[in-house]
Amino acid sequence: MLVTYGSELMGQFNAPDGARMLWRTVDISRCEYSFLIEGMGLEDGCIGPVAHLVTDVPTVQKMRNAEIGNFLSVSKIHLITPSDKNRHGSYAMELLSEIRMQPGTEARPVYEFVTQNGHIYSSAR
């Protein structure tokens, strides 16, 4: 979930897929992972580069498979790690190679995020 304040709403307009809301800023979680997904897709009726900030694995997987959202193809997924989930002491963003579900956690999934640099992060709390 992304959080912001009503005062950050800059405007809205109707688009082919529904109302588009323009926000000046949104907060990125200090406790959870976020993902920046890049690719090609349809935006306001035109094909071009698109990017979405996503906060949960099921949505990432559905966008990667073009089941939801406006992506025609996904080229990159970046993992955004908050400072308490990495060794950097601040937010970090790395290219994601793989998302794995730990065996036996299907009822309450625990994911492992493997980056192109070989770092492995866990969604376990």
Mean pLDDT computed over 112-125: 93
Q: Residues near 11 by Cβ (< 8 Å), separated by ≥ 6?
A: 21, 22
pLDDT for the residue numbered 102: 95
Give yes or no for a contact between 50 and 70, defined as CB atoms under 8 angstroms apart.
yes
Which pLDDT band, with edges at 50, 70 and 90, does 97 fall under? Answer: very high
* 124: confidence class by pLDDT, cuts 50, 70, 90: confident
> Rounded to two decimals, what is the model's pTM?
0.87
Residue 73's closest CA among 62, 64, 85?
Answer: 64
Hey, which residues does 38 pair with through a beta bridge? 51, 76
Q: Which residues pair with 100 in a beta bridge?
A: 112
Summarize pLDDT for 24-80 with one digit per residue, the tens.
Answer: 888 888 889 999 999 999 887 889 999 999 999 999 999 999 888 889 999 999 999
At 83 the pLDDT is 86
